[in-house]
């Protein structure tokens, strides 16, 4: 079953008011040993560019309103997934969400550490294709600046970090098992960048979705077990100290032969530089 990586709102942490038509995780369970499926806990100081996107009005306070992730690419600029800013998720246009915030410098969602910064402006990629999920990114402009040390560089086209076989880390606060087991502490999972040929074989089109190398990349393990999952959407995929992907979509969580699909950040760089 093709699914986006927004937190499945019909799961135990959901609000009844937000049980919209958001794709759910496949019924096939993933490896449950740890999010980010098959992952391990990390301190946000190790990845200060990793932030939570939050709305308590929409998603409640159980997880500080977290529903997606994001990556800090400028002192007042965060990248997240375009589908996180969709009306099906937010219940209306982003401008109508009064308490849309980015939670920065916080490892545990319910702690008092870090900062909660209002989002001043949301720009969804005008070329985003919601049906095929190509160009799945949005730019959030913050009302207050974060320190420069929180910013991660974006990998442009031709960067060796995109080479197949490259080791990468994906970060998030999402489902740790593929069965609705959400974490309140930041986690990471080590995955490997896969070749475009492997990604196309995994997602040739039809019900599972189509992989488009121009705006996507995929990463995972041949045997499965390590992957992003529900609630990780928009979160960073990092290789060589540079941002190469944003959590976007896939089939199940941690399933063999079904790697996670990410927004290709080189495409984001190209589009933003041409804006």
Closest of 70, 64, 173, 177 to residue 122, by C-alpha: 70
Catalytic member of 47, 55, 83, 266? 83
Q: What are the structure tokens assigned to 235, written together?
A: 């979160």
222 exposure class (CB count in 10 Å sphere: 0-12, 13-18, 19+):
exposed
Catalytic member of 34, 136, 177, 227? 136
Asked if 150 is an active-site residue, the reply is: no
Q: Which DSSP letter does residue 210 get?
A: B
SS3 call for 72: strand
Catalytic member of 47, 54, 233, 258? 233
Closest of 255, 265, 160, 262 to residue 218, by C-alpha: 262
For 236-252, b where at least 16 C-beta lie within 10 A, e where not — what string? bbbbeebbbbbbbbbbb
Which are the contacts of 156, defined by CB distance < 8 A and separation ≥ 6? 266, 269, 270
Asked if 136 is an active-site residue, the reply is: yes
Asked if 233 is an active-site residue, the reply is: yes
Q: How far is it, in rounded angstroms, from Cα 267 to Cα 265? A: 5
Residues with active-site annotation: 83, 136, 233
């Amino acid at each position: 079953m093709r699914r986006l990586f927004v937190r499945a709102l019909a799961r135990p942490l959901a609000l009844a008011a937000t049980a919209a038509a958001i794709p759910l995780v496949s019924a096939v369970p993933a490896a449950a040993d740890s999010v980010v499926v098959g992952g391990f806990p990390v301190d946000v100081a190790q990845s200060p560019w990793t932030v939570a996107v939050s709305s308590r009005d929409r998603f409640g306070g159980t997880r500080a309103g977290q529903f997606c992730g994001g990556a800090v690419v400028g002192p007042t600029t965060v990248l997240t997934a375009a589908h996180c800013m969709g009306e099906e998720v937010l219940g209306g246009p982003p401008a109508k969400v009064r308490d849309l915030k980015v939670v920065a410098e916080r490892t545990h969602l319910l702690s008092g550490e870090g900062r909660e910064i209002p989002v001043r402006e949301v720009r969804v990629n005008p070329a985003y294709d919601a049906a095929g999920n190509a160009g799945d990114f949005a730019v959030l402009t913050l009302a207050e600046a974060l320190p420069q040390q929180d910013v991660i560089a974006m990998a442009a086209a031709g960067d060796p970090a995109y080479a197949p076989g490259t080791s990468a880390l994906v970060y998030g606060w999402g489902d740790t098992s593929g069965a609705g087991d959400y974490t309140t502490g930041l986690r990471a999972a080590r995955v490997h960048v896969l070749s475009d040929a492997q990604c196309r074989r995994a997602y040739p089109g039809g019900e599972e979705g189509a992989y488009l190398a121009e705006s996507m990349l995929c990463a995972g393990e041949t045997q499965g077990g390590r992957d992003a999952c529900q609630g990780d959407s928009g979160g960073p995929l990092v290789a060589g100290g540079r941002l190469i992907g944003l959590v976007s979509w896939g089939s199940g969580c941690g399933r063999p032969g079904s790697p996670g699909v990410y927004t290709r950040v080189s495409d984001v760089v190209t589009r933003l530089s041409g804006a």
